[in-house]
């Protein structure tokens, strides 16, 4: 049984794929799907409950919550992919270097990984942001710079196994350079672990960005973000339940979707399940 046959038989993975695909579509078509301008203020329609005119209600400035959530999906997608991409690049390079060369190189890199893992990631992010201006670009960079350790460990483990394979020995025999062996011969064979880590990492990055925006140190208003919509919900929880419910559900469903997709990819790539 090959990868796709196993993947298609995994109902949870298909469900996750559907959620992720829907998020992509919503993000790409935000200008067409959003019924209103997400920044349009209507002080005559402040904290209006859900209705046919405003399906998800309005916020404390009379802005349409549905429109802001649709545009907020773009922010989540941008942060998730950019931050995870940066983490994957750093983790793959360090993991490949440690796993291929071994010895003192491996020892130095892995001790650095251990030191980084000693710090609670979220509080490390908070500490760094305290010295920087809160912005979407800073958020993406900081999440990426603090999320590479797990990828490093995965790639290192794959390289330790793959560096002793016959095709690597053959490449050395014909005089291939270390860089060519690492990036052309070994790294493509480690892409399965990297792909799974990337998928799960996107979910973590989206959750982290939402938490930072909720605390007021992430994406700054008036840019719509699921996290800062939740902040408005916290301030008006007694009279505007929709400000907390809908963005909370969006974050939950998105993170669950990416996790299901990542788990499905991992199970489908497991040689014990592919017959």
Instruction: Dump pLDDT digits (tens) for 34-90.
Output: 999 988 888 888 888 898 988 998 988 889 999 999 999 988 888 889 999 999 999
Strand partners, 238: none
User: What pTM did the predictor assign?
Assistant: 0.86
Distances (CA, A) of 238 to 18, 47, 99: 34, 11, 54
Percent composition of the chain: helix, strand, coil (DSSP 3-state, to 5):
75, 0, 25
Distances (CA, A) of 36 to 53, 74, 110: 10, 16, 50
* Local structure of 64: helix, strand or coil: strand
Phi/psi of residue 272, each to 5°? -75, -20
Percentage of the chain beyond pLDDT 90 is 29
pLDDT at 274 over 70: no
Confidence of residue 187 (pLDDT cuts 50, 70, 90): confident
Mean pLDDT of 192-220: 86
Q: What sign has the CA pseudo-torsion 154, 156, 157, 159? A: positive
* Local structure of 58: helix, strand or coil: strand
* Local structure of 191: helix, strand or coil: helix
Please tell me the distance from the alpha carbon of residue 260 to that of residue 267, in angstroms, as a whole number. Answer: 10
Mean pLDDT of 125-132: 78
- The pLDDT score that the predictor gives to residue 1 is 53
CB atoms within 10 A of CB 114: 11
CATH superfamily, domain 3-33+60-269, is: MetI-like (1.10.3720.10)
Nearest in space to 30 (alpha carbons), one of 64, 81, 80, 57: 64
């Amino acid at each position: 049984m090959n990868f796709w046959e196993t993947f298609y038989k995994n109902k949870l993975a298909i469900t996750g794929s559907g959620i992720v695909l829907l998020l992509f579509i919503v993000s790409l078509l935000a200008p067409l799907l959003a019924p209103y301008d997400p920044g349009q203020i209507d002080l005559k329609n402040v904290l209006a409950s859900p209705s046919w005119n405003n399906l998800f209600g309005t916020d404390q400035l009379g802005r349409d919550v549905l429109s802001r959530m649709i545009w907020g999906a773009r922010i989540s997608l941008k942060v998730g992919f950019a931050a995870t991409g940066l983490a994957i690049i750093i983790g793959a390079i360090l993991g490949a270097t440690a796993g291929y060369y071994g010895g003192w190189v491996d020892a130095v890199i892995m001790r650095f990984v251990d030191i980084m893992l000693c710090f609670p990631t979220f509080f490390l992010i908070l500490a760094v942001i305290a010295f920087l201006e809160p912005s979407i670009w800073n958020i993406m960079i900081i999440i990426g710079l603090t999320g590479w350790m797990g990828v490093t460990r995965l790639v290192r483990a794959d390289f330790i196994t793959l560096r002793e394979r016959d095709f690597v020995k053959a490449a050395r025999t014909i005089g291939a350079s270390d860089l060519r062996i690492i990036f052309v011969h070994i790294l493509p064979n480690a892409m399965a672990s990297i792909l799974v880590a990337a998928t799960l990492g996107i979910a973590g990055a989206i959750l982290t960005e939402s938490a930072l925006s909720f605390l007021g140190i992430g994406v700054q208003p008036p840019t719509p973000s699921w996290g800062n919509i939740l902040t408005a919900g916290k301030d008006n929880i007694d009279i505007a339940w929709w400000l907390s419910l809908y963005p909370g559900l969006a974050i939950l469903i998105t993170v669950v979707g990416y996790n299901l997709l990542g788990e499905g990819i991992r199970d489908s790539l497991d040689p014990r399940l592919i017959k």
